Structure 1
Amino acid sequence: MSTHAKTEQYGFLERTFKLSEHKTTVKTEVMAGITTFMTMAYIIIVNPGILSATGMDIGALFTATCLSAAFATLVMAFYANYPFALAPGMGLNAFFAFTVVLGMGYSWEFALTAVLFEGIIFILLTFFNIREAIINCMPMNIKHAVSVGIGLFIAFIGLSNAGLVAANEATKVTLGDMSSPPVLLAIIGLVITGVLLAKNVKGALLFGIIATTVVGIPMGVTPMPTGIMSAPPSLAPIAFKFDFSRIMSLDMLVIMFTFLFVDLFDTLGTLVGVASKADMLDKEGKLPRAKQALFADALGTTFGAMMGTSTVTTYVESASGVAEGGKTGLTALTTGVMFLLALLFSPLLTIVPGAATAPALILVGLFMMSPIKKINLDDFTEAIPAFLTIIMMPLTYSIAEGIVFGILSYVILKLLTGRTKDLSLPMYILAILFILKFTM
């Protein structure tokens, strides 16, 4: 490429993403975007695996997963200019497959219709600033706590993926089999990535993932690729397959509300938590361009339902790209392009084992802990809600539940101690809704 062409290219990126204003570079943003993709690439295998239990075509699900993730992430890149990536959400896909379809006996077409309506409602809620109002009403200590809680949650996911911790009937969680190859590989990966971080190597998380993947080949953990490129499977078996016959039923309302609730607070939590860590919140604790960021997952969910996949949400793994220095939509653009490339290079990209990405997730958990220093631990009406927000996220395996416990305890403690001036009308409304959630 000629010097003039490079200048024009970088000029376009500068104008679009305001790199100088955010004190970042093209190289940093691209590396951050690739890192984010590598830590969340598991979804292109896991999501089809879960949803195919409903009878949906697994090949078509692979294509739908990549396309919906790419679409939503590119909206985030160009419309919101944030380094956040999106894809079909874990937990939401399990609810889709195992509760709605296999548990309640509805067709996957019916479940897709619920997701479609959820996306449309999200678009309306975002347009009328309701979701943004929820973000803005959250107290600063809760926002900082969300970041820390997400850090523990991400670390727990990494430890579980590596097998370093495992389920136990008596203690619920226990130490994994330290002699198994995946666990040993994850420990090696932690050492490699830790050394790279200690030496301030740019792209340490990404290079750690690549090096650990290579080390895993002779250990028998990383499979050899069956090829390099392959054509993506057709979407025809699942795209635009909706069932509108029971859209006014009570079950449809219940299912749609559940999708709405979990996605709403998972996305809000991720945006606030990662933004808090990256110092993207303004002096009033608000997230600039929050409305644009929220439109990304609303449009992504609607598009994803049309393609044939479950709810699309903002991913906590975005924190790995932010930890690598990602500050703008160029990071998200890179991640979105990687999802499109995954359609063609799936044989190569899908060999990366969970044990290779686990060290990055564990260490991102460390990076996300720093906002705990900003939490007021001397005022118990602030400290207790913050603590509950933090601890409930990994223990319930849900960002949404952590926020629920944090906000509920905040409102109750402020009310009982006569400090109602710290509460706003939206906080009262949220508390009432959360109580109804537990009692209905």
Structure 2
Amino acid sequence: MSYDEVGQMDHMEDERDGVDSMDEMNEEYYAAEDEILDDYEMLTKVTDTSAAQARKGKDVQGIPWDRLNITRENYRLTRLEQYRNYESIPSSGEAIDKQECKPTEKGSNYFEFFHNSRLVKPTILHFQLRNLVWATSKHDVYLISSYSVMHWSSLLQNLTEVLDFSGQIVPTEKHPGSLSEGFTQTQVSTLAVKDRFLVAGGFHGELVGKCLDKPGVSFCARTTFQENAITNAIEIFNSSSGGLHFTTSNNDCGVREYDMERFQLLNQFSFPWPVNHTSVSPDRKLLTVVGDDLDGLLVDARNGKTVASFMGHQDYSFASAWHPEGRIFATGNQDKTCRVWDSRNLSLPVTILKGNMGAIRSVHFSSDGQFLVMAEPADFVHIYSTKADFKRRQEIDFFGEISGVSLSPDDESLYIGLWDRTYASLLHYNRRHTYGYLDSLM
């Protein structure tokens, strides 16, 4: 993202690009003025929604549509008409609208709604960065809520604070390069959690690392002391030697690789533009690098040299992911598309998948490679079948800004963080299975 865009960061009230939150919709559509306060208090006390309640007709977010003077269907049309997608390149979305994208069949049901947890309040600090939800098991989720990293156990229905960034954070371990004085009031821009390790990145290049099974913080460091230093993305991965490493993508045009055990910088590569996201190929030989440029790069992970570029997006990209087989990868862009590429032939994308109303800010392949999950900034998460050549998809439809989406490592759970002043929550979906052996007993 450009430095001007970094200046637009603060809380999403000022960054919603003309889209009302649900509580604003409530105020607008209530019939009697003298009943607004009572109705609003009722709305803000909405409880969790279970799968059983949803099957009986309760809205998954608990929105009481029968108390509103607008139907869900009509409000959906209003959102689609009024939502203004943020573009770094003017009219990039309109250019895509005029192109023919691959037709897809909507209506598949790969993941079923399981629970909506209102106790969990995900938040977003920067409107372009949405990697703030991470599932480490089908029951354990880590996310950003205000100035804290929180842990949610769907099994225990329990929310606990892991790290509070509002005060001072000081490392309890000694590592070369770690700042012994730590950080104060860190604004967390991005997060990554994997295998009991957590790394958070900040608006001024801060990096904070923690072992989840140890008390305290393991290290605090700065990627750079440049003014334009925001950490846009972090990816934790298993290195070819077997240890855990992580990469950071920064606004100072740098990509850095760190060792998780010693918390030491191993590699640093520079590019001609701010880097918004980097992902490592399954064989650890290549990096996808996307940022404030229309083109993306395939880079040699050992030396940072460009192997190839891929062209076609009309705006800047903020997401990328590799299929576990290591041949194809996907990129999410502000032109409202996700493009799937074959690393052996980058002249044209394998397919172009289009969002309903906004940029594609998160993309993830399932661990078994059967699904591609892509999330818009608000309201829609799409799940494509890779076995069906991306021709079939499930569309998850709700109302609210998406702080992040995450599949559990075993692909059994899908979590979606929703930020809204009234209806903030964590949506939980479970993988749908067909148990054929049960039919044989009938």
For this structure pair, what is the TM-score category when the shorter chain's length is used for normalisation?
A: under 0.3
Give 1 or 2: higher strand fraction.
2
**TM-score (normalizing by structure 1):** 0.23
Point out which structure has higher relative CO (alpha carbons under 8 A, 6+ apart): 1
Give 1 or 2: higher helix fraction.
1
**TM-score (normalizing by structure 2):** 0.23
